[in-house]
Structure 1
Amino acid sequence: MNTNKNSACKLKQLLLVIVLVFSNITTNATIIPIHTKDFSLLLQTDNENRLILSYFGDRLANNDELKYVSDMFNFTDENIGICNSAYTPSGTWNLSEPALKVIHSDGNNSLELKYDSHTIDPLTNGAKQYTIVLKDPVYPIEVKLFYKVFEAENLIEQWTEISHNEDGILRMQKYASANLYFTDKDPYLKSFHNQWAMEMQANSQRLTRGIKTLDSKMGSRNVMLQSQSFIVSFGHEAKENTGKVMLAQLAWSGNFKIDFEVDSYDNLRLIAGINPHASEYYLKPKEVFETPALIYALSNNGTGEASRNMHNWAREHRVLDGQGERLTLLNNWEATYFDFNEKKITKLFKDAQEIGVDLFLLDDGWFGNKYPRNNDDAGLGDWTENKKKLPHGIGYLIKEAHKKDIKFGIWIEPEMVNPESELYENHPDWVIKQSQRPEIYQRDQLVLDLTNPEVQDFVYGVVDRLFTDNPELAFIKWDCNSIIHNAHSAYLAKENTPQSHLYIDYTKGLYKVLERLRAKYPKVPMMLCAGGGGRADYNFLQYFTEFWVSDNTDPLERVFQQWNYSYFYPSIVTDNHVTNWGNQSLKYKVDVASMGKLGFDIVASELSKDELTFCTEAVKNYNSFKEIIWHGDQYRLQNPYDYDVASLLYTSKEKDRIIMFSYLVNTRVLYHTKTEPIKLNGLDANKQYRVNEINLFPNTLSQIKNEQTYSGDFLMKVGLNIPVDEDNPSVVLELTEVK
């Protein structure tokens, strides 16, 4: 045995380990700590001046110790590069999934990004914005990473700006908004898949080696198949009140792509952004490309806390009029469909008045003359009142509604066109389609080309004319039923712009229209609809006050859908209507619809006396507690997927008034429904609460001990046994502080 040779080999191995351990460390490292109330995201330069994400976890208390963090981790894999890069480039040292991939104007496809500078700026809304500049040392390309931090809510908005000063076009083949890295092991993903009438269906899975992708290629109705909202947890599936979770959404209304990669260290890499599918973007010199934001809320106490933080952030900082009011309404769709006239509609105004809602909404079918809108295959695009149905126009209906002390709103679908329409006859070049291919219709319609400024003007003009001609118009329901097939723009072709810009420029064109509308009509409520819940994101909710959850209004299905939406959205933005869907009682339907923005789509004149009385009283009750539903804190108590009875509550910020909803969701095993109490949450343990059942059907006695008082401590540790069964499938309780 050669002892000297073995010793030299061991020494060489030891030196290699030392080199590997300290390869990413430099004593002159720039450290950028990004703190929320409970978490720290630590960015740091390595010895090559590349920016790495060295830590993402519980808040670090001592800034003096931040310089030691990277000593404790070594995630440089010589086979694939640096796993924890803060924004991973392509074509040089990295062989893992990149955040940014480009082809330079000279044809070179390599990219390197090194730290240049950073700034930290306080914002007027109480947030703090970090801007970090990265530059390629060879090519004049610049990437800015933005982190807008809402400290109290443990929430971050993260996005990117890309620009360059090359001699020609920079071809961007991927351009992510965010590139995150988690060292917590055993990650789980809860995602939500969609289809018509089956939106927000939850799917949980443990993430293993490789890449799991959530994406959309729909073009317009972007979440028709898959939501861009998701939950990440560690060690186990996401739980309501325990465990580390991240609730996140890519706030983009077009195609998206979110990659979850478990790497060779069993750590999670997350890269989210616009879907680069068929969307290579040609960036001109000095042009700035801004990506949409990835919004994420963090919690060590489960999804409940993260949701409440996201709800508070949304109402305060993102949703249009998030701290304001909403209108209850009666819609005519299920009452009349396309078959109506002035007499039928004005008769429904009396129904709206009797129920006690704020507004009547006239749905699809009110427009088109040469091609009247008597079904869904004609007239779309010809936005003038149908003279046979409405000889006196929209203005007459508004006046008649006002006589009943209700407001008036209207349905539109301005991004779409029927081939059987005057608009299509006059402007076939305004339609997205391949001229050499057969047209593909969804609901007998095609999508207008919003990359075209003329089309943007037209869509803006549809809404502007409605408001200009009818200044007292109080509400808009904006629908979108088609996705983009045969993706080709005659306008982009005329402008010599690559067709790969279509999906992005369509979405940006829609935003331009909405920005113009909100500049002129900043306060008018607008509902976002897309063949049900085919659109819902926080970029749209800067322009819309609310969105339609689903065309499926069966209240049992809605318990599950509204539960899943509540992870991400406050109840003030979810539109819930009482309709003829489902075999449940009218009370069950109204109770479920009251967990958001209440509406009706029924013929009140066909209700029995007791049913009409119940609806009228239920609306009065709703008006008494809607502020708590809209602006209070939500606590999910019993999950409908795991229990026979689903339960949740809303509490005022002062915790002096609580509204609690409980629903039977499983009729197969009835003996489980009343065996144990439901523990409440979110109360003040030191306060006394009086319990009363509300929304009782006429001539029905409550099984609750009304006027009984309990301490918050008792209610949260022992709970209430709610009398929910097949004969009494929904219960609404009001808890009021006894002073």
Structure 2
Amino acid sequence: MSVRYIESKKTFLLQTKNSTYQMKVSDYGYLLHLYYGERLEDEDLSYLIQLQDRGFSPNPNEAGNDRTFSLDFLPQEFSSDGSCDYRLSSIEVKNGDGSYAFVGKAAKHEIYAGKYSLEGLPSLWAADQDRVDTLEIWLTDPATQLTAVLCYSVFEEKDIITRAVKVINESEETIYLNRIMSMTMDFMDSDYDFIHFDGRHTMEREWSRNPLAYGIQNVGSFRGASSHQHNPFAILCERGASEDDGRCYGFSFVYSGNFMCKVEKDQYDQTRIVMGIHPKHFSYQLKPGERFTAPEVVLAYSGKGLTHLTHLYHRVYRENLCKSPYVRKERPILINSWEAAYFDFDEAKLLEIAKEAVDMGVELFVLDDGWFGNRNDDNAALGDWDVNTAKLPRGLGGLSEDIHEMGLNFGLWIEPEMVSENSELYRKHPDWCLQMPRRQPSRGRYQLVLDLSREDVRDYIVTSINSVLDSARIEYVKWDMNRFITDAWSAIVEKEKQGEIYHRYILGLYDIMNRIILTHPEILFCGCSGGGGRFDPGMLYYQPQIWCSDNTDAVCRLKIQYGTTFVYPVSAMESHVSVCPNHQTGRTVPLETRGITAMDGILGYELDSTKLTEEEKRICRQQVEAYKRNYPLIVYGDYYRLTNPYTFSEYVAWEHVSRNRDEALISLVLTEKEANDAQRYVKAKGLNPQMQYQVDGMEGSLSGQALMSAGLPVPGKLMQYEAVQYHIKAL
């Protein structure tokens, strides 16, 4: 098995194809971390634990006068709280006696074949061909009988280890869980860079890389969603690590709500990283016998740089995360009505847009916001999921029928988690939204958030949305969420449990998605939260693709998509061609460039097809044909970032390479242009050095070695924001 316990050494050994993870039960019962990195064969790494007397680092009582044993500097798997460790803690508990402490000791363990499960939470699952083994270790506090069960699953061939924690109150008193990290990892050195992905609405997942400094670096969200501002993914890599070289560690949180990732460089030049639910406004009551399940963190290690780390995540998230059958199907080319019409449409206008889109090669027409209730702007009708017959007199069924007669499939926008104050639902059930007593609620986009912790609210949403989906032939749904959570207070939850609302909201959302999305496998669901405000693995468990950003500017998208690709596969990024001047930035970019940029994801269109010229429709049709021709390569191939737009300004380039390395597609957008500028070259990656390749538009052949070492010339005639693609095929 890929998981073993060596009784004589009291060590646990986790082995993937290329990595080793090792930990040890100390003499006093504490679980210490030994190693995570390049694969080692059956070596006992206990010697890495070096004990010495550290001044002002206290010692546990059972150590007696052994001043060399202190949790203040020893590497741990799950750090204690309220005892001898002053660093970041894995857990914070208020015990029944009012004390704040958890000191867990290894009580027992279990090793079994297969993947652990997490009740009510999305997580990776094992496919039939996967070899997966699981280790569970019970850490029990002898004083309180509170237990943390550490869960590890090893995807041996995919080089992935997952971690999660289950907290069980085995005492006779009620306790409050105020902090729970799903993963803690200690490193005995600190010469690392911290890479994370920041941003804002319309500019998500911007790459940020900084060296570790003494103290704590922190990213996270307490907005009720994973957020535009920070993504629940981080990398620790050694200084100097590049796309192709260096040790890199990835940490990806499978959760859609509040999260925190903290990294601490301590006084002894050691590093601790923790990841889990954000502790702000979090306090979970556990009565005797009750348990809490924390979400999963997906770990990956690469000794070959950032690109290899990316490949590990792309593969496992394509194959072991999403439950939708569409993850294995070719996605349709769609046109969305939002930037074409916004709220100003009727049935005739929609049918005109769909009819003209047929000539572009489009396969799916999506009706965005404004089709229901009294919804003529964003101030009303959310929650009233009845068709606006003034706009659609024959309802969704009639419109869908006409769309299908054109040879197109039909899709729809919904925002089921929200309610407008100007709505029949709010007038009937004002207590169904999150709002605090004695306070007027804050608003976002002039809407409030429904209390998904309530079963009656969830039942209403499920019944309403399923009724809509069953009312017409609908093959696609865009599931939106256009404001974050404030006023997190529920009218039916007792005051001692109000600190559970943020998490209960997410559990409620997952329950709703189980009952809507997973019961409609024939529908392709696309996630959205003002674009990329909830672009996380928890959402990808249900929806195979997510609207990458509300920003459709092709040049801005270069950075947005660059950051996204570090962990999320191309198959997850929905990306559209829109009109120019762009609606968000006013920038004008050639239509060909907009198409090439959007092909770095799931291609679609966000424009009014009735306003395109015949030449523009011809270009769009060519884009669709090229995309469909290269679809297996783009969506299932290995992804390479050839340039970093934050450190190299002349052009942005990326590459898709088939798994057997016989085909590649390089895309390049010129982002800066000077008169009489230097000749530039773009170098391929991932090819077979010994194979001969034909490059479209070039005579003769070139070896993979030449394409990777010497490269291909960037055409000097390219103007700023123009783009080019190189299709490379083995002979």
> Same fold by TM-score, threshold 0.5 exceeded?
yes
Once residues 365 and 75 of structure 1 are traced to their aligned partners in structure 2, the CA distance between those partners, rounded to angstroms, is 68
CA-to-partner distance for each residue in 1:72-112, whole Å, 9 max, x for gaps? 57697751642311101112222322101112223232322
CA-to-partner distance for each residue in 1:666-697, whole Å, 9 max, x for gaps? 23x4655x6242211111222221111xxxxx
Q: Which of 1 and 2 has greater Rg?
A: 1
CA-to-partner distance for each residue in 1:164-201, whole Å, 9 max, x for gaps? 22223121111110110122432211122121111112
DSSP 3-state at the match of 2:451? coil
DSSP 3-state at the match of 1:621? helix
Number of the residue aligned with 1:677: 681
Tell me if structure 2 keeps the 8 A contact 1:360–1:406: yes
Tell me if structure 2 keeps the 8 A contact 1:409–1:476: yes
Tell me if structure 2 keeps the 8 A contact 1:188–1:232: yes
Once residues 376 and 67 of structure 1 are traced to their aligned partners in structure 2, the CA distance between those partners, rounded to angstroms, is 60
Once residues 300 and 78 of structure 1 are traced to their aligned partners in structure 2, the CA distance between those partners, rounded to angstroms, is 36
Matched, 1:593 2:598: yes
Tell me if structure 1 keeps the 8 A contact 2:243–2:307: yes
Counterparts in 2 of 1:727 and 1:537: CA distance versus 1, 3 Å:
closer
Read off the aligned partner of 1:677 and give its amino acid letter. Answer: Y
Tell me if structure 1 keeps the 8 A contact 2:526–2:544: yes
Once residues 291 and 118 of structure 1 are traced to their aligned partners in structure 2, the CA distance between those partners, rounded to angstroms, is 19
Read off the aligned partner of 1:351 and give its amino acid letter. Answer: E
Once residues 596 and 670 of structure 1 are traced to their aligned partners in structure 2, the CA distance between those partners, rounded to angstroms, is 32
1:603 is matched with which residue: 603, 608, 620? 608
Once residues 214 and 67 of structure 1 are traced to their aligned partners in structure 2, the CA distance between those partners, rounded to angstroms, is 32
DSSP 3-state at the match of 2:642? strand
Read off the aligned partner of 1:734 and give its amino acid letter. Answer: H
Counterparts in 2 of 1:74 and 1:633: CA distance versus 1, 3 Å:
farther
Read off the aligned partner of 1:715 and give its amino acid letter. Answer: L
Once residues 300 and 606 of structure 1 are traced to their aligned partners in structure 2, the CA distance between those partners, rounded to angstroms, is 51
Structure 1 residue 127: Cα displacement: 2.0
Counterparts in 2 of 1:74 and 1:586: CA distance versus 1, 3 Å:
farther
Number of the residue aligned with 2:62: none
**Map 1:31-46 → 2, pairs under 5 A:** 31-46=11-26
1:713 is matched with which residue: 702, 705, 719? 705
Tell me if structure 2 keeps the 8 A contact 1:244–1:300: yes
Structure 1 residue 647: Cα displacement: 1.0
Read off the aligned partner of 2:99 and give its amino acid letter. Answer: N
Structure 1 length normalisation: TM-score? Answer: 0.90
DSSP 3-state at the match of 1:638? coil
Once residues 449 and 419 of structure 2 are traced to their aligned partners in structure 1, the CA distance between those partners, rounded to angstroms, is 6
**Map 1:389-408 → 2, pairs under 5 A:** 389-408=391-410
Tell me if structure 2 keeps the 8 A contact 1:578–1:602: yes
Read off the aligned partner of 1:681 and give its amino acid letter. Answer: K
Number of the residue aligned with 1:12: none
Once residues 465 and 728 of structure 1 are traced to their aligned partners in structure 2, the CA distance between those partners, rounded to angstroms, is 46
DSSP 3-state at the match of 1:56? strand
Once residues 352 and 35 of structure 1 are traced to their aligned partners in structure 2, the CA distance between those partners, rounded to angstroms, is 52
Read off the aligned partner of 1:58 and give its amino acid letter. Answer: E
CA-to-partner distance for each residue in 1:358-402, whole Å, 9 max, x for gaps? 21000000000xxx1000001111111001000100011111111
Counterparts in 2 of 1:605 and 1:707: CA distance versus 1, 3 Å:
farther
**Map 1:381-460 → 2, pairs under 5 A:** 381-460=383-462
1:344 is matched with which residue: 333, 349, 358? 349
Structure 1 residue 67: Cα displacement: 5.5
Once residues 73 and 664 of structure 1 are traced to their aligned partners in structure 2, the CA distance between those partners, rounded to angstroms, is 56
Structure 1 residue 285: Cα displacement: 2.1
Bigger Cα displacement from structure 2, 643-652 vs 512-521? 512-521
Higher relative contact order (CA 8 A, sep 6+): 2
**Map 1:26-425 → 2, pairs under 5 A:** 29-61=9-41, 63=42, 65-66=43-44, 68-71=46-49, 79=57, 81-82=70-71, 83=73, 84-123=75-114, 124=128, 125-219=130-224, 221-236=225-240, 238-320=241-323, 321=325, 322-368=327-373, 372-425=374-427
2:617 is matched with which residue: 612, 619, 641? 612
Counterparts in 2 of 1:559 and 1:728: CA distance versus 1, 3 Å:
closer
1:647 is matched with which residue: 650, 653, 664? 653
Once residues 530 and 454 of structure 2 are traced to their aligned partners in structure 1, the CA distance between those partners, rounded to angstroms, is 24
Once residues 567 and 79 of structure 1 are traced to their aligned partners in structure 2, the CA distance between those partners, rounded to angstroms, is 39
Number of the residue aligned with 1:480: 481
DSSP 3-state at the match of 2:537? coil
Bigger Cα displacement from structure 2, 353-362 vs 186-195? 186-195
Bigger Cα displacement from structure 2, 723-732 vs 277-286? 723-732
Query: Taking every aligned residue pair, what percent have the same amino acid on both sides?
Result: 30
CA-to-partner distance for each residue in 1:214-256, whole Å, 9 max, x for gaps? 121101x4313222212211223x5211111122221211111
Counterparts in 2 of 1:507 and 1:68: CA distance versus 1, 3 Å:
closer
Once residues 60 and 30 of structure 1 are traced to their aligned partners in structure 2, the CA distance between those partners, rounded to angstroms, is 17
Read off the aligned partner of 1:712 and give its amino acid letter. Answer: G
Counterparts in 2 of 1:67 and 1:295: CA distance versus 1, 3 Å:
closer
Once residues 499 and 222 of structure 1 are traced to their aligned partners in structure 2, the CA distance between those partners, rounded to angstroms, is 20
Tell me if structure 1 keeps the 8 A contact 2:532–2:548: yes
CA-to-partner distance for each residue in 1:126-178, whole Å, 9 max, x for gaps? 22222111111222221111112222332221110110222231211111101
Structure 1 residue 326: Cα displacement: 1.4
1:730 is matched with which residue: 719, 723, 728? 723
Number of the residue aligned with 2:64: none
DSSP 3-state at the match of 1:612? helix
Number of the residue aligned with 1:6: none
- Aligned length in residues: 689
Once residues 224 and 310 of structure 1 are traced to their aligned partners in structure 2, the CA distance between those partners, rounded to angstroms, is 21
Structure 1 residue 34: Cα displacement: 1.4
DSSP 3-state at the match of 1:168? coil
Bigger Cα displacement from structure 2, 338-347 vs 243-252? 243-252
Read off the aligned partner of 1:126 and give its amino acid letter. Answer: R
CA-to-partner distance for each residue in 1:476-534, whole Å, 9 max, x for gaps? 100001111222111214xx651101101001110111112244213421111111210
Read off the aligned partner of 2:315 and give its amino acid letter. Answer: N
Give the RMSD, CA atoms, in angstroms: 1.9
Counterparts in 2 of 1:708 and 1:417: CA distance versus 1, 3 Å:
farther
Once residues 600 and 487 of structure 1 are traced to their aligned partners in structure 2, the CA distance between those partners, rounded to angstroms, is 37
Read off the aligned partner of 1:271 and give its amino acid letter. Answer: V
Once residues 447 and 211 of structure 1 are traced to their aligned partners in structure 2, the CA distance between those partners, rounded to angstroms, is 33
DSSP 3-state at the match of 1:194? strand
CA-to-partner distance for each residue in 1:569-596, whole Å, 9 max, x for gaps? 1101101001122310111101100111
Tell me if structure 2 keeps the 8 A contact 1:184–1:234: no
Once residues 336 and 537 of structure 2 are traced to their aligned partners in structure 1, the CA distance between those partners, rounded to angstroms, is 25
Structure 1 residue 473: Cα displacement: 0.7
Tell me if structure 2 keeps the 8 A contact 1:232–1:246: yes
Structure 2 length normalisation: TM-score? Answer: 0.91
Structure 1 residue 706: Cα displacement: 3.1
Once residues 114 and 336 of structure 1 are traced to their aligned partners in structure 2, the CA distance between those partners, rounded to angstroms, is 61
Once residues 351 and 153 of structure 2 are traced to their aligned partners in structure 1, the CA distance between those partners, rounded to angstroms, is 49
Bigger Cα displacement from structure 2, 31-40 vs 271-280? 31-40
Number of the residue aligned with 1:18: none
Tell me if structure 2 keeps the 8 A contact 1:244–1:299: yes
Read off the aligned partner of 2:57 and give its amino acid letter. Answer: N
DSSP 3-state at the match of 1:481? coil
DSSP 3-state at the match of 1:411? strand
Counterparts in 2 of 1:727 and 1:31: CA distance versus 1, 3 Å:
closer
Read off the aligned partner of 2:657 and give its amino acid letter. Answer: T
**Map 1:457-468 → 2, pairs under 5 A:** 457-468=459-470
Structure 1 residue 335: Cα displacement: 1.0
Tell me if structure 2 keeps the 8 A contact 1:631–1:652: yes
Structure 1 residue 120: Cα displacement: 2.4
Counterparts in 2 of 1:68 and 1:296: CA distance versus 1, 3 Å:
closer
CA-to-partner distance for each residue in 1:624-672, whole Å, 9 max, x for gaps? 11111111111111222233111111011222221110111223x4655
